[in-house]
Amino acid sequence: MSPEDPQETQPLLRSPGARAPGGRRVFLATFAAALGPLSFGFALGYSSPAIPSLRRTAPPALRLGDTAASWFGAVVTLGAAAGGVLGGWLLDRAGRKLSLLLCTVPFVTGFAVITAAWDVWMLLGGRLLTGLACGVASLVAPVYISEIAYPAVRGLLGSCVQLMVVTGILLAYVAGWVLEWRWLAVLGCVPPTLMLLLMCYMPETPRFLLTQHQYQEAMAALRFLWGSEEGWEEPPVGAEHQGFQLAMLRRPGVHKPLIIGICLMVFQQLSGVNAIMFYANTIFEEAKFKDSSLATVTVGIIQVLFTAVAALIMDRAGRKLLLALSGFAVGWGPIPWLLMSEIFPLHVKGVATGVCVLTNWFMAFLVTKEFSSIMEILRPYGAFWLTAAFCILSVLFTLTFVPETKGRTLEQITAHFEGR
């Protein structure tokens, strides 16, 4: 049967009572892809132990003043914003798998530049490159995982993205306890290198292969990941080749999820958590903690534990309930990334996820760069009351506009927004 045979693009529907797939390789593929978020978590957490280390042990040309230190922490978010745009472009052209493979290059190169740095500009350049890789990985990994997972475990596997991010942050904190900044940068090359090796043996997502009219390859990937085709609902193909056009924004199936995705990313950053994670060591030092490194590691452990809890209960409690009731690690950390990968139809996924990731990282830059200024103007208590007000608004937005996606296929989610 040729790829152009119309029989191949007919929806392959399974009955609601179909047995859930039982393939184990989908977990291996998820782990391989989630090494990207682990890498970008390490890049985010790197600045916290590296800044005090640079001030203590670096030669004079590499010593960071207050302004340079704030840029060292924040410039990674500018690179990530650019990476979000690049990732959105790569997603539909190079595919999900190749995009993940390509993002390992700026990860390794960026940390190598930091390791070899002889002035502050090289430090900032290396951070910018790792930020570019962070932006690509933060966009592509959730999409890859959501498209290979079956509905019964999509929440669990999708939550692994944020779990690996906070694990990467914790790894940077713990390693920074014993390693100075150069060796810490060398360690940062390990996770993306491991991802490069593992992803070479993982398949492209069946949905992307179908958009390329590679039907046999898509079914082979599905059998590799799920063990069978049981429970699969083949998406309609054809619309994705039209390319994104502004006229598509008139469709409720496009503009509704886009507005929701953008707002979720804005509220996630306005919680202020990134400012705390980027400068945790410095914050605890200024708070006169006896051991600021230990306090920072404790924060990282708490993040990992509660994000793991979120992963375990995501497919039982649902996305909307956790957003409305939890704290950051259980709800607002993992769920915006998960929902971003679930709510967009196939033909606009690259552009729409790119816009969401760009929004997230631009807001992260504003919050991270201006957090100290806000603290000076409003005093610490005023700054935290402001973030509390944004958290209240985020709950109201969730209860009013965010749909529940638990247990639904990606095609059913799209149909919900379109009113079908």
Mean pLDDT of 93-113: 94
Contacts of 227 (CB under 8 A, 6+ apart): 21, 22, 23, 24, 25
Q: Is the pLDDT of residue 245 over 60?
A: yes
**Which DSSP state fits 332?**
I
Amino acid type, 264: L
Handedness of CA 313, 352, 31, 78 (dihedral sign): negative
What is the pLDDT, as a whole number, of residue 47?
86
pLDDT digits (tens, 9 = 90+) for 176-210: 888 998 999 999 999 999 999 999 999 999 888 98
Mean pLDDT of 56-77: 81
Mean pLDDT of 111-116: 94
Burial group, residue 179, by CB count within 10 angstroms (0-12, 13-18, 19+): middle
Cβ(347)–Cβ(239) below 8 Å: yes
Range of the domain at 335: 22-227+247-418
> Is 152 among the domain residues?
yes
* Residue position matching structure tokens 């990994």: 141
Alpha-carbon distance of 244 to 246, in angstroms, equals: 7
> Is 8 among the domain residues?
no
> Is 234 among the domain residues?
no
289 or 26: which leads in pLDDT: 26
> Is 15 among the domain residues?
no
pLDDT band per the 50, 70, 90 thresholds, residue 7: very low
What is the pLDDT, as a whole number, of residue 418?
81
Joined together, the tokens standing for residue 146 give 């959501």
What is the pLDDT, as a whole number, of residue 12?
36
> Is 9 among the domain residues?
no
Alpha-carbon distance of 34 to 148, in angstroms, equals: 13
DSSP, collapsed to helix, strand or coil, labels residue 145 as helix
Contacts of 291 (CB under 8 A, 6+ apart): none
pLDDT band per the 50, 70, 90 thresholds, residue 234: low
Mean pLDDT of 368-380: 78
Joined together, the tokens standing for residue 374 give 């806000």
Mean pLDDT of 63-80: 83
CATH code for the domain in which residue 104 is found: 1.20.1250.20
> Is 16 among the domain residues?
no
Alpha-carbon distance of 168 to 137, in angstroms, equals: 13
Report the Cα 92 to chain-centroid distance in Å.
Answer: 17
Percent above pLDDT 90 for the chain: 28
Q: Is the pLDDT of residue 239 over 80?
A: no
Mean pLDDT of 296-325: 86
Alpha-carbon distance of 174 to 183, in angstroms, equals: 13
What is the pLDDT, as a whole number, of residue 123?
92
100 or 370: which leads in pLDDT: 100
Residue 76 Cα distances to 30, 71, 126, 347, 408, angstroms: 25, 9, 9, 30, 35
What is the pLDDT, as a whole number, of residue 20?
54
> Is 1 among the domain residues?
no
Q: How many domains does the chain have?
A: 1
Cβ(86)–Cβ(134) below 8 Å: no
Model's pTM, two decimal places?
0.80
Contacts of 175 (CB under 8 A, 6+ apart): 49, 184, 187
Alpha-carbon distance of 42 to 48, in angstroms, equals: 10
pLDDT band per the 50, 70, 90 thresholds, residue 29: very high
> Is 12 among the domain residues?
no
Q: Is the pLDDT of residue 396 over 80?
A: yes
